[in-house]
Structure formats: C-alpha cells, structure tokens
Amino acid sequence: MQLTVIGTGYVGLVTGACFAEMGNEVTCVDIDERKIENLKQGVLPIYEPGLETIVRGNVGAKRLRFTTSLKDALATSDVYFIAVGTPPNEDGSADLRHVLDVARDIGRHLRHYAIIVDKSTVPVGTAERVGQAIAAELESRGVEIPFDVVSNPEFLKEGDAVSDFMRPDRVIVGCESDTARDRMRDLYATFMRNHERLLFMSVRAAEMTKYAANAMLATKISFINEIANLCERLDVDVESVRRGIGSDSRIGYSFIYPGCGYGGSCFPKDVKAIIRMADDCGFEPTVLKAVEARNEQQKHLLFTHIVHEYGRDLKGRHFALWGLAFKPGTDDMREAASVVLLSALITAGATVTAYDPVATHMAGRELPGAWFENGSLVIATDQYQALEGADALILVTEWKPFRHPDFERMGRLLKEPRIFDGRNQYDPQRLKEAGFRYTGIGRSNICQTQGAAKVDRERRSP
C-alpha cells in the first residue's frame, strides 16, 4: 500500500518506518524542514533501539521518504495517518490544535476517497471533530469527496517500540464503514501471520481504549508505590510483597515494581486527559485522581529520604545521580523523576554530577541552563566518574549497566558508602555486607545501620 504519515515524532516515525519495513511505500510529512533534511540523511530526532537501522534501510530501498509537502504526499496515497503531538493544556486536556490543523490541510488537498487514521492519542470524540474539519474544507471548495475517519491508537513502549509495532499484542481499530474495515485489515494482515490480533470496535470505543489502557498501567504503578510506602512504615520488605502478589495470575508481575514515580510522554499526559474528560461530563474520577496524586508525591520521595539523612540545608553536599531518562531504553526526560529530584536538590543548595548512558544530550535541552552555568549540575561521561567525591549515589533510572556495578570501586570513589536506590535495583543485604548504607523504596530497615567500616578499611589499604 501507499501510505502517508503526518508527523515524524516518536509515534509517526516508528509507524512510518515499520510499515515501510513490511513492504509498503510510506511518505512521512513534517513541517520542520531541518528535521526532514536530517531524516533524509538518516539522522533521527529520537533515540529508539533498532529504529535507525530500519529508517536507513527503507530510505535506501526507496520505500520510505520524507517531505514537508502534505499536498504532494496526499496525491500518491489514500491512507493518511495523523501522528502529530497532543500536548496537555494547562487544565490537563489534550491540545488538539495540531490534529485539527492537519485535518483541515487534508480537506484542502483531498482529491479522491481516503481513510484518515487518528494515530495520535486523542480524547473520545476527536474522530468526529476531524471528520467535521475535513468536511468543512471540502464544502468551502464546493466538492464532494467521500472519506472515512478511523481510530487506530498506538500501544508502543519507549525503548521497545519497534518490537511492539512489529509484534503487537493487539491492534485496535475503530471504524464505522465496511470499506475502511477491509482496508485496515489488509494493511495489518502482514502483522497477523501467527494469529489474529486485530480488534475492531466503534471509533469512540477505540479512542477510549487507549486512555483506559494507559490509566490502568499507571494505576498499577501508583498502587504498588502506595503499598511500598506503607511497607516502609511497617518494616516490611515490599520486594517480598511484590513477589507474593505477582505470583497470582490475576495480578501478574508487570508494572508492580516500586519506584520513584512514572514519567514520560504518555502516562502523565493521558491520566490528566482522562481526568479532564471525566470532569467535563460531570463524573468524579476518584481513582484516577488518586493515581495522579500518588505519582506526584512519589517523585519527591527520594528527596524526602535525603533530607531525613542530611537535613533540609544541603549546602556543601554533593551527590552522584545515575539516570536522567524517565525509563531505560530511551532519551526521553519528559516528566522524569530525575528532573523533580534535581530541582529539589539544587534548590536546597546541593551540587550534583549526573550520568545517563543515552539522555545526557537531552539534559542540555530539558534542564535549566543556569544549573550548568553556576556549577550546580555537571554531566559525567562515565558512570564511575560521577561518583568521585560524592556524599551518596542516587539511582533514578534502572539502566542495565547500573544493575551489577563494581561496588568495591564505588566504595572507594564515594565520600561515604551511601546509596539511595529509587528503583530497588540492589540487594540490601549484599550492600550491607559490602559496607554500604542503603535506602530503597519500601524496603525493610535491614540495611539502615551504618556499615561503612569495611569500605573504610579498604580505602586505607595500599
């Protein structure tokens, strides 16, 4: 098939590249001329494992092309994916300006029957608004051209998006016409060779499914974080509790890992948006508001532990921070727990040396320049370099290189053998035996006593 994907951000680029990988001819459109030129040269605007190889391969095979001209792209295809951003408004609702702008542009240039697919995460009722915007433009042109608007939300995990697209758990398609249903079935047939995973439903149901899925996952995270905080007060190790409840097949282990809060471009935005949708129809979303509130509080938990240890005045204190991205496998720092923690530490007078395997370049874009200029924040080029002379290590993102580090070396580099673990990566008993003091999320007090004597002896040894 010949497809047009409008928007070359995270969703649009993965969508276009993966469809091209399956033999379709895809044109990706974006108004950002610099981004389009970079993409033509194989330079991607995001980090996503495996994506660069697919983009370059399909550009070389001439199945994937990039342009700033929507008019030219529309002339050669009849399935148009809208994959532009829907950032949150101040009231938490999704900003649909870009989506509706694209719809109007399609209406201005449409010449034949087409299927317009909402790939962006959009509130219930957006497809109707997209259809109205296109119809208004066609009417202003004095032409009648049939079209269908379809909802086909994405379910991509940052860090594993290519695999999610190529081997989906399910593909949700909301449509109202047999023609659109048949075309969408044909388009996704190559992804269903093993077994059928295509679920058809109404457009509004598809729009709601996306929000409900993300809200459910966010709820699991906030739930286990709330249990972890309770465990902390009752001297219970939440890791034992997590394994105990995860072994129940009705619950499972996914998304019940305690930590310092969820972030990224999806969960925070989508939870806010579904809360706003509920408010707009006069329904009180009690659970969803609690999910959001717990997550906001959770992002401050590491700082609370640090203040408990060192006091509120952190002048003269220096910390090492491992992990800037909101999760491993991506360079995305949007809504990341690291940003909240850095702000609190620096405001309290501390200095920080941070390291992230992928997101260090994003730090210069996402974080205040004054932090770098006044020396409050330094970005290290190596995870161990970040430890030199620090009062403690704070782990925020559970990247694989952080999972089994050289603790003996760490003990020598740190001023004190102290770890604040925001993702429960480490075994408290092992760290205690290695001479570290450890604080995790909802861990028991097994490692809260000073155990630095062993490391001090090693430091003094030749």
Please give the positions annotated as active site.
266
Q: How is residue 394 written in tokens?
A: 């704070």
Q: Among 347, 387, 348, 379, which Cα is nearest to 363's?
A: 379
Three-state secondary structure readout of 58-127: HHHCCCEEEECCHHHHHHCCCEEEECCCCCECCCCCECCHHHHHHHHHHHHHCCCCEEEEECCCCCCCHH
270: tokens are: 């989508």
Kindly tell me the burial class for residue 168, based on how many C-beta atoms sit within 10 Å of its own C-beta (0-12, 13-18, 19 or more): middle
CA distance 131 to 435: 64
CA distance 334 to 237: 30
Residue 460: which H helix or E strand, with range?
Answer: helix 453-460
Dihedral-angle region of residue 397 (phi above 0 means left; psi in -120 to 50 means alpha; beta otherwise): beta
- Bridge partners of 226, per DSSP, are none
241: DSSP letter: H
- Cα separation, 293 vs 15, whole angstroms: 33
Measured CA to CA, the distance from residue 256 to residue 400 in angstroms comes to 19
Q: Structure tokens of 16?
A: 């276009």
Please, are residues 144 and 113 in contact by the beta-carbon 8 Å criterion?
Answer: no
